[in-house]
Structure 1
């Protein structure tokens, strides 16, 4: 198997002449021996003649014919059953050769010759660039991310130029977005909706006869000045509105709002404080979470708990819920004494009191055969309790008025003379920032012509500047990262060093997904960015900046494929412990782990194995780790006997490698090879199908079904190099919980087979357990470093890896291995390389 890996690697680096030699010496003789009788000059069945096939895969008809040959061999349809059959080794040799040729041809087609071509900003970069250029924050529904369609991907990222096409319909979308940005950036007069403070006093709920049933049970009791909560949730019921608005909407316009909950509490017997969640009904989400807090203030000394969040006009009723509730409320049949009393009250029309008494009866533990309350139900001293004073909403919030975007564009203030001279000054300041380079005076002329036309048609000066701003934000000089080459066509012009402004943009879009900031522009102006020490210092500064969170969202999210973790929802009847909190946590875990590795400058080898995890309380419970409280993610040392640690022990990885009912070792194996080693397997032949689920009367494990699948020689070729990586992870079930016995599908009850995670890796290393498997992967840390460096370089440059990058990548991985193995070291090595600084 090692020979096969070396063969593929060599094939990828071979010249066409070397391909032809391999074909003539090894492949053509096999075809002549086994295929020529049916597909030669005398008889061309299916109109296929193998004697006319060549090693030139750049010809589409020739490549298509080779694909057909590979597929027919894999499906066992060639040679026919009554003819001599290709040996398994020959099938593997032909299949590997064809796959390598196809990849080489595809790579050649995508290749830029090591050049970074002009590429469009993706929608994340566009959004961040506008926000940084104009000092804007986008509320819900106003961000370009909410309007622009998702990009395609290439090489695993949405930053590669070949996937970032711009057609007329997308250009129309960009202009619409730019107009909305301009309308929000430049304003006229005071805000349409001034900031207001709306308050819900919780005693108002208790005093409202129409909704008195909310406080009908022991778990929700009116007390002086508010409401005491032991279970359940409150509702706003139209008692919280923006002035002049009807219904339950506190957001008259899309914007940012401050939610403040004043509350105090008493911890439960376990010492845990009451935890409250504020939610708001929303058409897209039945109840959308706004804030979640542990109430640590004493019950008799309530404090304010606040959060500022974006809200839209679709939000409705607000609710406060106690999460660690007692479960006091029970649905039991009313006792006769309550029925009699309720009947009397019903005759007088006092239905609210009927509901209150009925709920009280349930909470106190009355039942059909009891005439007295259950004393255990009346003792609430061991339960966490919360006192709710008020819920306050303030908004829409404005950092200032006019907004900073307005004063940044219209920099002379309200007393300026609003004419074309002022407009020229506006764009002379704005365009060098927007286009990320110095501009010649005449470059402002096209924008000024647009402004002049608007003024001639009677539009206000503010409106004319808005139109000019929208034009600026849809200009190719803003939409594209342009590294001009005036000599010849980009693909044929000789390489050249980037100038400092181009280098500033390449660096900022790599680490911040946005335009350079003032410091980078100043260094570019002083021609300081071509200095390696300066670049290294900027890497440290930029990774310490809050905008480095965009690197986590951009690179880590796509590299680790967290968007795929929730593709399948675990079957509820099999995995009852799975809940929304766990669903959210499994997606966040690898990103929080990445952030910790980055910020604390820890070794990247921790992605293979680590002695810590980065988890919250919900994941800690899932992983059987004690002593973790709260929803905040934090670094937690692992107990000695824990199988956790590293990427492959994270629950989200295993949920992604499942279908909701059973694990899928092949999907997990592909994740290991592609994410950790950047080594995707060859694509399977058509109609190969998946490993079938168990049918009635069978109870085979996934391993047993895979072994059956491998009995077919054509299938065994791929599975021998894939199955060990997936089966090694079988101790993790569909939701990533550790298991020693098979579960899922129809494996329930006491008679369940034990998990067998053993296997043999393609390099010959054998293992009996997941821990041993992980240790063998750690021995391949050079392979991991190289893969990570390749991924980072693709993300940084927006192009595929080329053979000319080999020296840069080798130097980067050697530097890591000899140093501290951190992202900082790797990034600095790439950023200070000739490849990064060359057009």
Structure 2
């Protein structure tokens, strides 16, 4: 991968001439020039793949050449001399046209000899496979790992570890930088990680923010303060004393009792000297002293704490069952001035049904205002009766008896912040490692970057590299900048340097070479942590010990025990399992009322928590095919009807013997992904199973293949019945018979992943809905009657699963596609996994010890 030409940089420098000081622009220029020379790469030419063309040639001769041969070339298409050269664009496009036409049944034409479904499947599959090989050859580099830049997650993690920063929501570079390109399903493949002037614009913006956050001037602008609202103050505060007049709220001498609605902080809790409660973005501690009084139904009282943030995913702070004795509930959360107030409310999850003894007066009001089905509506009706002074009717005593209702008693609310772990922050101490006493010393300026540059560039640096940054900073000082601002300028330059942005492994030779210890340290850390090496890896690299196989394996085990392994979970795990696609379609709120934003978030996090559990405990990856346990938090546990789980953190639970929730395919997020909001999509689900579990994507559909249509008026066909009809079309059957069976097996899971035995969604409701049929026959000829039998058949394909997983992780670790030369390595990795219970650790050990991982 080449760096931008000088002309590109010139346009970049011109674009920012109004914002970047001339010395900084010159530093960028010197960095790019030196990097282009030092890091230049030689990309090898791709080689062709030997192909047995005889069977395909026979197919073309039998069904195609009569109309597209020597004597006739209908539609200007000739196939008798078509070569199997998929690296040539024109030839490849002709093969694609052949594949599309036979898949659509448009060729051969009506009246001609027609190929069988098996023949169509064979030829279309061969063409699709060759196209994938050609694409991989184009993306690959004959087994070599070529230069690549950090993706945005790696950039954010590297900055985090370099400066010991903690990001608040929306502040991480990952949320500011644009999405990265992907290849082979991952954002780690070098050819997809291009760098252009528009991206450099963002890097400059992000680098400025980082430098401003890392270095501080003086004491914090807003010291930590504690603000409290005692409930007895409500009656005296004009802004919120109206709460006491609400029928669903009782104001006591030293507490407020909520039976509906909420109490809030607005108008009382203000930061000293300001009109707002939150003076600046930061971490805040919210505390509530409260307890619950269960009602007639005996169900626990649930308290919800929310903030008025414009972003929906930052509104809910806490939702928890409260005890019957007073307790202090504490939340540590990021907040900013956009949050405004926060409020505490009681949650009526199931509603309060009106007693059958409610009098006719309330019944008439129900008809006027709509059917009242919970206590809040009852209170609203009674309140309106009072306002209208309805003397001809009195509220029914049973409906107004508050002793029967659940109550949340709130004593006080408190907000403390902004909170600081230390001041100046750790990042400031990292940069000014000798303290502030020598901030006017030119030698100290040099020492700062002699200390910082090796960490940022992840290798030893030269004197000239330090000189360039120090000269830049000195020019800022000569122009009147403060010492802090001069160092900030130096940090911006370093963070925009290609030597920081790229995973650098310089090579000018065409032959492979063994990586040095510094390069191995970076490969390890960006593979397992998606971040820079830590102090121990740097120390081992400086001692020349990282080429020792035993030491490398020890480091892998140490790194997988570290919390930073979440980089592998959220990097490899999330992209392998496609969790970012789980919420592509929001469920229809009218049909699926159990679904909400927080439940959707839990569905996304469950497979990641499952992956981390398998990784941390060195368990078999076959658990993804089936398991007797899963990972849930309180919200997801209730959705799955699993008892005894509390809190937002995911915990491991054993599943009942008949539970369908074991393994990846029993997770609600997978079902949600394979739906369109109103109905399930078995084809989509089948493609997911093949891609994720086996790294075996089906052939691409022909153009305008379309979706299975919804029911037309008067029909009540299930999705399965409509797909079976679709398969009666001979040209469609070839593809669908290798996909749909996997999707049919998951039909017991509805749109939001609830287990069902009868059809729901679309026009299906009630007891008379058709029964779910989840039977099918796999491409290998083995049949199943239900989801349980289907998972048993999946477990029989353990080596197929291991091969797909090994291929995926090898792509992720090397940052390049799998090539033909990797076949032997993949075989070896699968064998090693089989011998060690198919663990992720055994796969990782095999990869890091391989020649492919340790050579350039």
Q: TM-score, normalised by structure 1?
A: 0.89
Structure 2 counterpart SS, 1:700: coil
Q: Cα gap change, 1:258/1:484 in structure 2, threshold over 3 Å: closer, same or farther?
A: same
Unaligned segments of structure 2, at least 5 residues: 1-45, 366-378
Cα distance in 2, alignment partners of residues 392 and 739 from structure 1: 45
Q: Residue 613 of structure 1 contacts residue 638 of structure 1 at CA under 8 Å; is this kept in 2? A: yes
Match of 2:576 among 559, 566, 569: 559
Structure 1 counterpart SS, 2:584: coil
**Aligned pairs (5 A) from 1:744-823:** 744-823=761-840
Say whether residues 1:437 and 2:459 are aligned partners: yes
Query: 1:475, CA displacement in angstroms?
Result: 0.6
Cα distance in 2, alignment partners of residues 717 and 152 from structure 1: 32
Say whether residues 1:167 and 2:196 are aligned partners: yes
Query: 1:452, CA displacement in angstroms?
Result: 2.0
Deviates more, 1:261-270 or 1:453-462: 261-270
Say whether residues 1:323 and 2:347 are aligned partners: yes
**Aligned pairs (5 A) from 1:164-203:** 164-203=193-232
What per-residue deviation string (whole Å, max 9, x for no partner) do you get for residues 360-404 of structure 1? 7989xx9987636524643536x5543323222222222222222
Query: 1:88, CA displacement in angstroms?
Result: 3.2
Q: Which residue of 1 aligns with 2:658?
A: 641
Q: Which residue of 2 aligns with 1:724?
A: 741
Q: Residue 382 of structure 2 contacts residue 395 of structure 2 at CA under 8 Å; is this kept in 1? A: no
Cα distance in 2, alignment partners of residues 497 and 619 from structure 1: 48
Say whether residues 1:262 and 2:296 are aligned partners: no
Cα distance in 1, alignment partners of residues 767 and 722 from structure 2: 22
Q: Which residue of 1 aligns with 2:42?
A: none
Query: 1:463, CA displacement in angstroms?
Result: 0.9
Match of 2:629 among 591, 612, 630: 612
Cα distance in 1, alignment partners of residues 843 and 583 from structure 2: 31
Unaligned segments of structure 1, at least 5 residues: 1-13, 340-355
Cα distance in 2, alignment partners of residues 511 and 267 from structure 1: 49
Q: Which residue of 1 aligns with 2:420?
A: 398
Query: 1:110, CA displacement in angstroms?
Result: 0.9
**Aligned pairs (5 A) from 1:485-496:** 485=507, 487-488=508-509, 493-496=510-513
Deviates more, 1:552-561 or 1:266-275: 266-275
Query: 1:86, CA displacement in angstroms?
Result: 3.3
**Aligned pairs (5 A) from 1:106-505:** 106-217=135-246, 219-246=248-275, 249-266=276-293, 273-285=300-312, 288-296=315-323, 298-299=325-326, 302-303=327-328, 305-324=329-348, 327=351, 371=394, 374-375=397-398, 377-378=400-401, 380=403, 384-485=406-507, 487-488=508-509, 493-505=510-522
Q: Residue 708 of structure 2 contacts residue 723 of structure 2 at CA under 8 Å; is this kept in 1? A: yes
Q: Which residue of 1 aligns with 2:688?
A: 671
Cα distance in 1, alignment partners of residues 635 and 321 from structure 2: 15
Query: 1:669, CA displacement in angstroms?
Result: 0.3
Q: Which residue of 2 aligns with 1:76?
A: 105
Structure 2 counterpart SS, 1:521: helix
Deviates more, 1:249-258 or 1:639-648: 249-258
Cα distance in 1, alignment partners of residues 439 and 644 from structure 2: 65
Q: Residue 250 of structure 2 contacts residue 257 of structure 2 at CA under 8 Å; is this kept in 1? A: yes
Q: Which residue of 2 aligns with 1:8?
A: none
What per-residue deviation string (whole Å, max 9, x for no partner) do you get for residues 149-200 of structure 1? 1112111111111111111000111011101111111122222222222222
Cα distance in 1, alignment partners of residues 352 and 547 from structure 2: 68
Q: Residue 334 of structure 1 contacts residue 362 of structure 1 at CA under 8 Å; is this kept in 2? A: no
Q: Which residue of 1 aligns with 2:34?
A: none
Q: Cα gap change, 1:72/1:374 in structure 2, threshold over 3 Å: closer, same or farther?
A: same
Match of 1:707 among 724, 746, 749: 724
Cα distance in 1, alignment partners of residues 591 and 380 from structure 2: 39
Q: Which residue of 2 aligns with 1:836?
A: 853
When the two structures are aligned, how many residues end up with a matched partner?
Answer: 793
Q: Cα gap change, 1:768/1:372 in structure 2, threshold over 3 Å: closer, same or farther?
A: closer
Query: 1:724, CA displacement in angstroms?
Result: 0.9
Query: 1:564, CA displacement in angstroms?
Result: 1.1
Query: 1:327, CA displacement in angstroms?
Result: 4.7
Query: 1:415, CA displacement in angstroms?
Result: 1.7
Deviates more, 1:824-833 or 1:448-457: 824-833
Q: Residue 145 of structure 2 contacts residue 814 of structure 2 at CA under 8 Å; is this kept in 1? A: yes
Query: 1:321, CA displacement in angstroms?
Result: 1.6
What per-residue deviation string (whole Å, max 9, x for no partner) do you get for residues 390-439 of structure 1? 22222222222222211211222222052432211110000000000111
Q: Which residue of 1 aligns with 2:71?
A: 42
Cα distance in 1, alignment partners of residues 598 and 566 from structure 2: 23
Q: Residue 264 of structure 2 contacts residue 341 of structure 2 at CA under 8 Å; is this kept in 1? A: yes
Cα distance in 1, alignment partners of residues 50 and 846 from structure 2: 33
Query: 1:446, CA displacement in angstroms?
Result: 1.6
Query: 1:269, CA displacement in angstroms?
Result: 7.1
Q: Cα gap change, 1:780/1:716 in structure 2, threshold over 3 Å: closer, same or farther?
A: same
Deviates more, 1:56-65 or 1:571-580: 571-580
Query: 1:325, CA displacement in angstroms?
Result: 6.4
